[in-house]
Amino acid sequence: MIPQNFEYATPNSLAEAFKLLGESNAKALAGGMSLIPLMKLRLAAPDKLIDLRNVPGLNSIREEGGMLRIGALVTHYELESSPLVRSRCPLLAEAASQIGDIQVRNMGTIGGSVAHADPAADYPASLHALEAQVKLAKAGGERTLAIGSFLQDTFTTALDAGELVVEISVPVEAAGTGVSYQKCVQPASGFAIVGVAARIRKSGGRIALARVGVTGLSGKPFRAANVERLLEGAAGSAGDISKAAAVVADGVDANNDLHASADYRKHLARVYTARALAAAARKAG
Amino acid sequence: MATTVARPETLVGKRIKRKEDPRLITGTATYVDDIQMPGMHHASILRSPHAAAILKSINIRPALETAGVVAVFTGADVKDVGPVPCGASLPGLRVPHHHILAQDRVYFAGHPVAVVVSTDRYIARDAADRIEVEYDVKAAVADPEKALEKGAPAVHPQWPDNIAFTFHQENGEVDKVFAEAAVVVKQRITSQRLIPCAMETRGVVADYKTGEKALTIYSSTQIPHLMRSLVAGMLGMPEHKLRVVAPEVGGGFGSKLNVYAEEALMGFVSMRIGKPVKWIESRREGFLATIHGRGHADYFEIAAGKDGTILGLTLKLIQDLGAYHQLLTPAIPTLSVLMMPGLYRFKNIRADIVGVFTNCTPTDAYRGAGRPEATHGIERMVDMLAAEMKMDPAEIRLKNFIRPEEFPYATATGLSYDSGEYDKPLKKALDLVNYGRLREDQKRARAEGRLMGIGLSTYGEICAFGPSPATPAGGWESATVRVEPSGKVTVHTGASPHGQGEETTFAQIAADEMGVDLDDVIVLHGDTAIVQYGIGTFGSRATAVGGTALYFALQDLKVKIKKYGAMLLDSSDVSYSAGRCICNKTGKSVTLAEISGASYRAMRLPPNTEPGLMATHFWEPPNFTFPFGAHIVVTEIDKETGAVEIKRYVAVDDCGKIINPLIVAGQVHGGVVQGIGQALYENAVYDDNGQLLTGEFMDYAIPKASMLPRIEEDHTETPSPVNPLGVKGVGEAGTIGCSPAVVNSVVDALSPLGVKHLDMPLSPEKIWRVLTGGKA
Ligand SMILES: Cc1cc2nc3c(=O)[nH]c(=O)nc-3n(C[C@H](O)[C@H](O)[C@H](O)COP(=O)(O)OP(=O)(O)OC[C@H]3O[C@@H](n4cnc5c(N)ncnc54)[C@H](O)[C@@H]3O)c2cc1C
């Protein structure tokens, strides 16, 4: 488990980071929890690692204009334990708390996780359910993409060469919204075989808002709009929930591997969707 | 005369924290990879990516030309090094010549092809990638039953049937009892291939001193002395010029009860370059290059009378050997046959083993080594028989147990069970779980539509390997005790503990016999230059055999101590206790330190007595020991997902006399965890091309703390008559008792659906398919 030779730099500003990233075969390093294992397996062999940890401004969590603005370098542990996140966006805190183990959560970052775009990563389910925005920056300027456009495919994002994720924004949860993240854990890796995030808001005895994000089921995490449509306007009975959850895997090209065949994964997606919806509905009151 | 206060109690039997733990926990222990030497080089091994291929050409030039690379060796360089040894002998055994680097062909993915030596670990690894190998890839076979089919690819072309050996054992009137039986139950039961995954991967440092023409090999091994004898032979080196050191060894579980190609290879490299060289196995390499365990497909048939009396058992055992025999590979399934009768009284058995080559990593001893497979089989068969006869699984066991008055008991497989009260741990376990009420709970759960299971296993095992005639390299063990001039005690054990805690338990034994404090005793092991010849730690033998050798060495020494005491006290009637020699007439006494000082100063000597206080004993055990126990597991199955939750785990083990309950608990816990690993999670999966699909921890699931139940652990203590300590062994008990208890519990949970058997691992998907009636 010995990586190839590489150089290592610790820029002190974004501008410096962009300059270094412009060099050939340079790669950003955040928590290293995905990149370093790939290098040790020699599946990645960057010539230069640009460690972002000294870049100022990437590790704050702020509430601003009804949004939580989370710096790319905020760790899973910070998200899981931050009082601000726990009260303003409990779904993200819940998802963060289910990632890997404590060592991984202490090192790994939300920016690194989304940039890596592992199809079995935990955050994307919640980020889809939250309709998160991802802010990207490069030497030329900034742009903001919806999570659905940012995550393009297995290990593939909209990031341009030399571009960084700098911030992820999620809405501050309105009072009365119930949320839940339910994960079926792959016993070896700890990643999600499937993970489902749900948000439910009720008004006048009806579901006013339903948001469902799914990870692990296929090559690309997604928002299950078909499930949401069946729920919005419904009373949210157990029957409503199981009917809605039943369609979550419809038309999805499910992953098939040692740990779960495609049809079992689809089944699990339905079960975990129902569980996430039921838990969220319960909390929504 | 001194007046230290005598230590009032014995240490044996006390729950004492392990002396070795502080250095392990604080990261201050010295493992192979911690060894640094001036001028040390590093080796990286290029391994075949293919499971079966002809080596057409190897171009080492690009690697050799890499700056920092000192040498590259291939099969041609090492063809005269002796083969990796197989210590097991069976009639007609086919033994492929196992070169330390591949010659003209590779036989499994991971087969070592070349070694690159550099001054720098990283450069060595980079350069290995630059070696150009041309492979002519051939068809491979990874499944032992497929390997037996006509037309299957031949692993070793000279043996097209892929059969390495067959083995037959029979006792009694098998055909007759099966013909007359009221019930016969048949089942194919697999014990899947597992990967041992010791926390420390293997590693070797070899240091050849050109001036002295002497080689020292530091290796993460369980058997330094055996390794020395065998590697000296492989390298054609006089044995006394080779020293082997097993420094701290971070677990082995049998995987380091072996002599590996890399141990001789590093010796070869160091002798060639005249410098020390280090090789540390990467985790990925370890998955391919260190032995695997289990790998059985077992066809059982059990016969019983109409009252549930077991009459006989037959077994056709197909053993996946992998591509080569490692040290004990072919012997492991014969242990399964030995333990086939379990704890039961029937005398009619028939067993046939077929040992099959596959293009896979060799299998060999892994915690339990043959006995978990046997126990899994018999305990599943007894449960299936109980289900067939509508008997309670506890009742059928109690009915068939060997009775206490029948010991020593001659088994159908030729063993003599030493001692046992088999109903005791079972009854204790049944009490602990409140079995009657538990079955009531289960009825209620079933009425509510829940899938709750209660499973038990009553296992027996064979430990303390073993009498020398039954072990390939001698089954005795040795100990030296030395009282230093100050009265401190140094113990050398030929057993080579590597995590089991003998630095503590052996110190307890020595401290009690010498009447000194625990901290006044040090236990040294694992260095052939320090310790007299020994056999090693495996097969739950270290305490029962090595501890007994120590006990006898201590008795020898006490005789000498008393001679000096009698001289110093000017008495002919002395006794030794609590660290002092006492004149039985006057009550005057001298301390061990005083005696020891006098023995080394040697101003006066007792008649016919040498100076110094040291004794060595080599102990040959007259028999194995046979621990036993009962495990009960309560499970509940998630009907939606098929996931198994272990609600309760109760283990009542009888390992004979307990020296340290804390260490016994640790051994039981660790063993149970590995048993749960096999029952629920672990599986070494190969594809049809012989590629290991579960070649890293991202895919090979060893259980983590969060996936495990609390283990409720208790004991009965039936002393063994085989040794004066009364100990039996506990290193493997947890693993052996566990997997059938878990599977029996899950099958019990699913029995309302008509389920009779499921093979391990019991993955949620497998159970979900059962729940959906195979329709999903
Ligand atoms: C044992 C283990 C268990 C794990 N279990 C889980 C789990 O259960 N669930 C889960 O979701 N994840 C799991 N992970 C992955 C973990 O969450 C990683 O932390 C995460 O995927 C990557 O974040 P990082 O900060 O470590 O990124 P790094 O590894 O440093 O980088 C990952 C990739 O993203 C790029 N990158 C990093 N930061 C940025 C940025 N700001 N802008 C652009 N590109 C960037 C890097 O160049 C690299 O390509 C596990 C990891 C390990 C080692």
Write down the architecture of domain A61-171 according to CATH.
Answer: 2-Layer Sandwich (3.30)
Task: Kindly state whether residues B562 and B700 are assigned to the same domain.
Answer: no
The count of residues in chain A is 285
Can you tell me the distance from the alpha carbon of B187 to that of B377, in angstroms, rounded to the nearest whole number?
9
Quote ipTM for the complex.
Answer: 0.95
Give the pLDDT of residue B431.
Answer: 98
Residue pLDDT, tens place only, B662-713: 999 999 999 999 999 999 999 999 999 999 999 999 999 999 999 999 999 9
Contact between A2 and B121 using a beta-carbon 8 Å cutoff: yes
Q: Is residue B185 part of a domain?
A: no
| pLDDT higher than threshold 90 for residue B539 | no
Task: Kindly state whether residues B65 and B205 are assigned to the same domain.
Answer: yes
Q: Is residue B380 part of a domain?
A: yes
Confidence at B1, pLDDT banded by 50, 70, 90? very low
Query: DSSP string of B273-306?
Result: HTS-EEEE--HHHHHHHS-BB--EEEEEEEEE-T
AA letter at A79: L
Question: Ligand 1 pocket test: which of A73, A99, A151, A181 has the largest number of ligand atoms within 8 Å of its C-beta?
Answer: A99
Structural domain for B451, as ranges: 296-465+623-771
> Mean pLDDT score of chain B, rounded to an integer?
96
| pLDDT higher than threshold 90 for residue B598 | yes
Task: Kindly state whether residues B301 and B436 are assigned to the same domain.
Answer: yes
The whole-number average pLDDT for the span B6-14 is 79
% chain A with pLDDT above 70: 100
CA distances from B551 to B47, B491, B542, B565, B727 (A): 46, 11, 13, 20, 12
Residue identified by tokens 């068969």 is B381
Can you tell me the distance from the alpha carbon of A79 to that of B508, in angstroms, rounded to the nearest whole number?
50
Question: Ligand 1 pocket test: which of A35, A92, A215 has the largest number of ligand atoms within 8 Å of its C-beta?
Answer: A35
Q: Identify the domain boundary among B619, B645, B671.
A: B619
Output DSSP code: residue B680: I
Output DSSP code: residue B216: E
Can you tell me the distance from the alpha carbon of A109 to that of A125, in angstroms, rounded to the nearest whole number?
16
| pLDDT higher than threshold 80 for residue B161 | yes
Confidence at B212, pLDDT banded by 50, 70, 90? very high
**Does residue B408 have a cis peptide bond before it, meaning omega lies within 30 degrees of 0?**
yes
User: What CATH number is given to the structural domain containing B66?
Assistant: 3.90.1170.50
Task: Kindly state whether residues B337 and B391 are assigned to the same domain.
Answer: yes
Task: Kindly state whether residues B65 and B111 are assigned to the same domain.
Answer: yes
Can you tell me the distance from the alpha carbon of B43 to that of B118, in angstroms, rounded to the nearest whole number?
6
% chain A with pLDDT above 90: 97
Rounded (5°) CA angle B476-B479-B484:
175
Task: Kindly state whether residues B611 and B682 are assigned to the same domain.
Answer: no
User: What CATH number is given to the structural domain containing B659?
Assistant: 3.30.365.10
Task: Kindly state whether residues B456 and B494 are assigned to the same domain.
Answer: no
Residue pLDDT, tens place only, B319-361: 999 999 999 999 999 999 999 999 999 999 999 999 999 999 9
Looking at the DSSP bridge assignments, the partners of residue B634 are B454, B648
Least confidently predicted of B28-37, B210-219, B457-466, B484-493:
B457-466
Are A253 and A274 spatial neighbours (Cβ–Cβ below 8 Å)? no
Q: Is residue B190 part of a domain?
A: no
Check residue B369 and give left, alpha or beta (phi > 0: left; psi -120 to 50: alpha). Answer: left
CATH number for A177-283 (one of 2.60.40.10, 3.50.7.10, 3.30.390.50, 1.10.3660.10): it is: 3.30.390.50
| pLDDT higher than threshold 50 for residue B736 | yes
Query: DSSP string of B426-489?
Result: HHHHHHHHTHHHHHHHHHHHHHTT-EEEEEEEEEE--BS---GGGSTT---EEEEEEE-TTS-E
Are B652 and B672 spatial neighbours (Cβ–Cβ below 8 Å)? no
Give the pLDDT of residue B323.
Answer: 98
Give the pLDDT of residue B774.
Answer: 63
Residues of B with a Cβ under 8 Å from any A Cβ are 44, 121-122, 125-126, 129, 282-284, 640-641, 681, 685, 693-694, 696-704, 707, 765, 768-769, 776
Domain map of chain A by residue range? 7-51, 61-171, 177-283
What global pTM score does this model have? 0.96
| pLDDT higher than threshold 70 for residue B76 | yes
**Does residue B761 have a cis peptide bond before it, meaning omega lies within 30 degrees of 0?**
yes
Task: Kindly state whether residues B260 and B125 are assigned to the same domain.
Answer: yes
Residues with CB under 6 A from ligand 1: A 27-35, 37, 52, 72, 99-100, 104, 107-109, 111-113, 115-116, 118, 121-122, 159, 164-165, 190-191
Q: Residue B677: closest CA among chain A residues belongs to which residue?
A: A187
Q: Rg of chain A over CA atoms, in angstroms?
A: 19
Task: Kindly state whether residues B398 and B461 are assigned to the same domain.
Answer: yes
Can you tell me the distance from the alpha carbon of B516 to that of B512, in angstroms, rounded to the nearest whole number?
7
- Rounded to the nearest 5°, which phi and psi values hold at B405? -80, -5
| pLDDT higher than threshold 50 for residue A129 | yes
For domain A7-51, the CATH class is alpha beta
CA atoms within 13 A of residue B105's CA, in its CB half-sphere: 15
Q: Identify the domain boundary among B589, B619, B649.
A: B619
Task: Kindly state whether residues B339 and B208 are assigned to the same domain.
Answer: no
Task: Kindly state whether residues B377 and B318 are assigned to the same domain.
Answer: yes
CA atoms within 13 A of residue B604's CA, in its CB half-sphere: 11
The whole-number average pLDDT for the span B235-244 is 98
| pLDDT higher than threshold 50 for residue B4 | no
Q: What is the tally of structural domains in chain B?
A: 3
Task: Kindly state whether residues B655 and B604 are assigned to the same domain.
Answer: no
Are B362 and B323 spatial neighbours (Cβ–Cβ below 8 Å)? yes
